[in-house]
Chains A and B, each alone.
Chain A
C-alpha cells in the first residue's frame, strides 16, 4: 500500500508509547462538574432547567442558543446548582452549569437499543445528532448537525474519516479505534447515509497499523469503505492536508472542504454518532489522554465538566513540579492558567510538563536557514512573514498569505533561532481580521 502524504510537515517524537496500550478507563466521578455553556463553535447553549432540580444521567440540561450551537446533557445523577462563572480552558472565566454529583445515586447510563436504524431518514438522523449535542471531537468542537447540512448543489465526492491523530502524546482516537472498531464502522455507515458520498475513506497514519487492521477487519461487511494509509507526519490530520493527501485536491484559500467535494469527520465524532443513533446516548463523556510528566499516564473516559485537577489526581499526580498544563496536544494545545478549568467536548488530552523539561529559550536573529519554509504545510514563508510583521508592512503580510496559516506550530518547532514564529503570525492574523472587519 502506497503511503499518502502532503508536502512539508515535521517529525517530532511521538511520545504516544506512554499511553498507547492503556485501555480506556472510566474515572471515579468528581464531586462537582462545571459544564460550560460555550464549549463549541457558535452561540452558547441556553439552560432549560431550574436551579436546585435533580438531574438524571444523560438528561438534556441546555438547548441550542442559536442557529449554530449545541445541546448539553448531564453526565451524572446530581443536583443542578445554577450558573456560575468558572475558569475556561481558553482563558478567562465563562458561564458554566454547576452540578453537584450525587455519588450514592451513581449508576451507568441505561442505553436503549434502537432497532430501526436502517429505516431512519437523513433528516431524522441529523435531528438525533443535533439533539445529542454532538460536536467535532478532534478539538475544533464545530456542531456536527450544522456541518452535515451541506449547501444544496454541493455533491460530496469523498467522505474522509479522520483517524490520523498526528499530535504527539495523544492516543484517545487510537484507543477508540482499537476498542470500538465495529461501532466506528457503524457510525461511518450512518454518515454515509446522510452525506451519500461517492467514496468513503478511513485515514490512519502508518504508526497505528494495528488500529488500521482492526478497522479493516471490522469493515469486511462494508466493501465500499476504502482505507488510506498515511505517512506519519505532523500535521497530517489537518483537514486541508488530509484532503490533499487523499484526493490530490486543494481546498481554495479561505474556502471550505465541500467546495472541492470533500467532507472530513474525526473518528471520535463518528463513535459519538454511533452511540447517539444506536444507543440513544447523548454526548456527555469523552476519552481524554492524560499524559506527560505524570505518574500514571492513561486514557480516561471522562465526564464533560470534570476539573483538570481531578484528572491529574486520578492519574496519581505529576512527576516533579508542574510547570505547564496543556489542554490538547504539545503543538497546538493551550496552556491552562489554573487546574480548575474543566474538560469540554473538544478536550482530546491533558499534557503535563514539569519544570525539569522546560528549557529557557532566548530568541536570536534569524539565520535564514529556511527550515520553516520547508516545513510549512500551507507553503507559506514564515521567516518572510515574520520580517514584514516586524516592519508592520501589513499589505505585504497579507499578500504572503498570512490568513492561510493554520497555526500548526511547525515553524516554531523547527526554528533553530527559537523565534516564536507561530505566535507572531497568529497575532498578525488577528490584527488583520480586526482591520478588515472595521
Chain B
C-alpha cells in the first residue's frame, strides 16, 4: 500500500524536544559552576525543582486526561530556571513551591506548552517574591573564594548580608559606590565571585551557554542584544547625567540581567515571532528594567520588565507584520 501524504516529504531534524533540551544543556555550565561555589546543596535543590516541575505537569495532565508532555524538556527548563532564581541557601520546599506554581498556574492553566503568555519561571519567581520576600532577598550565602557583596573584605562588617544591588538600594555611600564601580567589582561579577541567586553568578558562563543557543538559532540574539544593550545604553545615559551612581557595566552584570536577557526573555513561546517585534520586545524590556531599578522599589527589575513585555507580545506581533512579497 503506497502512502498518500501532503507535501513536503522531507523535514528538518529540529524538534521541540531538541530545542528544549538544548536550552537545558546551555544552562549547564552556569549550573556546574554554581555547584562548585555554593556546594552540593545546589544539586539537591535542582533535583527537587525539576522533580516538582515534571511531577506537577504529569499529575495535571493525568487528571485532565491530556497527553503527557513531561519528556519534551520544557518542564525541565522551568525547574532549572526556578532554581537559578532563588538563593542557594533556600529551604528544600522553596523550589518545590516555586516550580509547582510555575507549571500549574502559569503554564498548564493556560493550556500547556505553547499557550502560556507569561514565562512560567518568571511567574513562579514573582510568586515567591510576593509570598516570601525575606527568603528571596535576604537569605544569601557568600560564594567559595569570594564575598557576598563582591566587595573587598574591609567592607564586610555590618553590610555582609547584602548583594551589590541591595547595597546600592539601601546603602549607597560614596565608598560603596566607588567600589561598585571598580574594575575589581566588574571582574568579580563577570567571572562569578559574588553572592546571589544560583544562576546569577557568572555572567561569562551564561554567555557561553547563550552563545551556543544563538549559533543553533534556538534563542534569538536580537532579543538579548536589545535587552542587555538598551540597559547598557540607558543606564549609561543616567550614569553620565547623575541619575544612577553606578556605571552601565555594573548594571548589565549585576543581578539577573544576564540570566533574564539571555534565557528568560528569549523564551520563544512568550516573545514575538517577527524579527522586528523581537527587537522592540528586547529593547522595551531593557528600558523598563532600568526604570524599575532607578525609580522602582526593587533593587532588581529584570523579572517584572520581561513579564510586562510578555503582555505586549500579541500587540508587537501585530504591529511588526512584514510587507508581504509584492504587496
A325 near B114 with CB under 8 A, answer no
- The distance in angstroms between the C-alpha atoms of A361 and B12, with both chains bound, is 12
B16 near A330 with CB under 8 A, answer no
Q: Which of these binds chain A: B38-46, B85-93, B179-187, B316-324?
A: B316-324
A324 near B5 with CB under 8 A, answer yes
Interface size on B, residues (CB 8 A): 43
**A357-372 contacts to B (CB < 8 Å):** 358-359, 361, 364-371
Q: Which of these binds chain A: B47-55, B232-240, B269-277?
A: B269-277
- The distance in angstroms between the C-alpha atoms of A383 and B321, with both chains bound, is 12
Q: List, in ascending order, chain B residues with CB within 8 A of A365's CB.
A: 111-115
**B299-327 contacts to A (CB < 8 Å):** 317, 321-327
Q: Does A423 contact B (CB under 8 A)?
A: yes
- The distance in angstroms between the C-alpha atoms of A373 and B269, with both chains bound, is 14
B2 near A337 with CB under 8 A, answer yes
Q: Does B9 contact A (CB under 8 A)?
A: yes
Q: List, in ascending order, chain B residues with CB within 8 A of A401's CB.
A: 324, 327
**A337-387 contacts to B (CB < 8 Å):** 337-339, 351, 353, 358-359, 361, 364-371, 373-374, 377-381, 383-384
Question: Count the A-B residue pairs with Cβ separation under 8 angstroms: how many?
Answer: 149
Q: Does A426 contact B (CB under 8 A)?
A: yes
A324 near B6 with CB under 8 A, answer no
Q: List, in ascending order, chain B residues with CB within 8 A of A252's CB.
A: 326-327
- The distance in angstroms between the C-alpha atoms of A413 and B8, with both chains bound, is 7
State which of B12, B269, B272, B325 has its C-beta within 8 Å of the C-beta of A379: B325
B273 near A383 with CB under 8 A, answer yes
B278 (CB) vs chain A CBs: closest residue: A370
When each residue 1-32 of chain B gets 1 if its CB lies under 8 Å from chain A and 0 otherwise, what string results?
A: 01111111111101110110000000000000
- With A255-B326, A361-B11, A367-B269 as known contacts, state yes or no: A416 contacts B4, CB within 8 Å: no
B10 near A331 with CB under 8 A, answer yes
A416 near B113 with CB under 8 A, answer no
- With A368-B271, A370-B220, A370-B274 as known contacts, state yes or no: A413 contacts B11, CB within 8 Å: yes
- With A253-B327, A367-B19, A416-B19 as known contacts, state yes or no: A339 contacts B12, CB within 8 Å: no
Q: List, in ascending order, chain A residues with CB within 8 A of B2's CB.
A: 322-325, 335-339
Q: Does B61 contact A (CB under 8 A)?
A: no
A367 near B16 with CB under 8 A, answer yes
B3 near A323 with CB under 8 A, answer yes
Q: Does A240 contact B (CB under 8 A)?
A: yes
Interface size on A, residues (CB 8 A): 64
- The distance in angstroms between the C-alpha atoms of A367 and B269, with both chains bound, is 5
Q: List, in ascending order, chain B residues with CB within 8 A of A417's CB.
A: 15-16, 114
Q: List, in ascending order, chain A residues with CB within 8 A of B9's CB.
A: 324, 326, 330-331, 333, 335, 351, 353
Q: List, in ascending order, chain A residues with CB within 8 A of B15's CB.
A: 416-418
- Closest Cβ of chain A to B117, distance in Å, is 11
When each residue 273-287 of chain B gets 1 if its CB lies under 8 Å from chain A and 0 otherwise, what string results?
A: 111001000000000
- With A252-B326, A368-B271, A379-B322 as known contacts, state yes or no: A407 contacts B19, CB within 8 Å: no
Q: Does B268 contact A (CB under 8 A)?
A: yes
Interface of A is mostly: loop
When each residue 305-346 of chain A gets 1 if its CB lies under 8 Å from chain B and 0 otherwise, what string results?
A: 000000000000000001111100011111111110000000
**B195-214 contacts to A (CB < 8 Å):** none
- The distance in angstroms between the C-alpha atoms of A373 and B220, with both chains bound, is 13
B220 (CB) vs chain A CBs: closest residue: A370
**A210-264 contacts to B (CB < 8 Å):** 240, 244, 250-255
- The distance in angstroms between the C-alpha atoms of A431 and B218, with both chains bound, is 34
A6 (CB) vs chain B CBs: closest residue: B325
Q: Does A412 contact B (CB under 8 A)?
A: yes
- The distance in angstroms between the C-alpha atoms of A330 and B6, with both chains bound, is 11
Most chain A beta-carbon contacts within 10 A, residue among B19, B322, B325 = B325
State which of A374, A379, A416 has its C-beta within 8 Å of the C-beta of B14: A416
Q: List, in ascending order, chain B residues with CB within 8 A of A254's CB.
A: 326
- Closest Cβ of chain B to A391, distance in Å, is 14
A10 near B326 with CB under 8 A, answer no
B114 near A12 with CB under 8 A, answer no
Q: List, in ascending order, chain A residues with CB within 8 A of B114's CB.
A: 364-368, 417
Q: List, in ascending order, chain B residues with CB within 8 A of A414's CB.
A: 12, 14
- The distance in angstroms between the C-alpha atoms of A361 and B324, with both chains bound, is 30
A331 near B7 with CB under 8 A, answer yes
State which of B7, B113, B270, B321 has its C-beta within 8 Å of the C-beta of A333: B7
- Closest Cβ of chain A to B130, distance in Å, is 27
B7 near A409 with CB under 8 A, answer yes
- With A367-B19, A420-B6 as known contacts, state yes or no: A412 contacts B326, CB within 8 Å: no
9 A-B pairs closest in CB distance: A409-B8, A365-B114, A423-B6, A401-B324, A370-B273, A378-B325, A330-B10, A369-B268, A331-B8
Apart from A323-B3, A335-B5, A367-B268, what 9 extra A-B contacts exist at CB < 8 Å? A325-B2, A331-B8, A339-B2, A378-B326, A379-B322, A383-B273, A404-B325, A417-B15, A417-B114
A-B contacts, 10 listed (Cβ < 8 Å): A12-B10, A250-B325, A253-B326, A359-B11, A367-B268, A369-B19, A371-B217, A381-B321, A404-B324, A404-B327
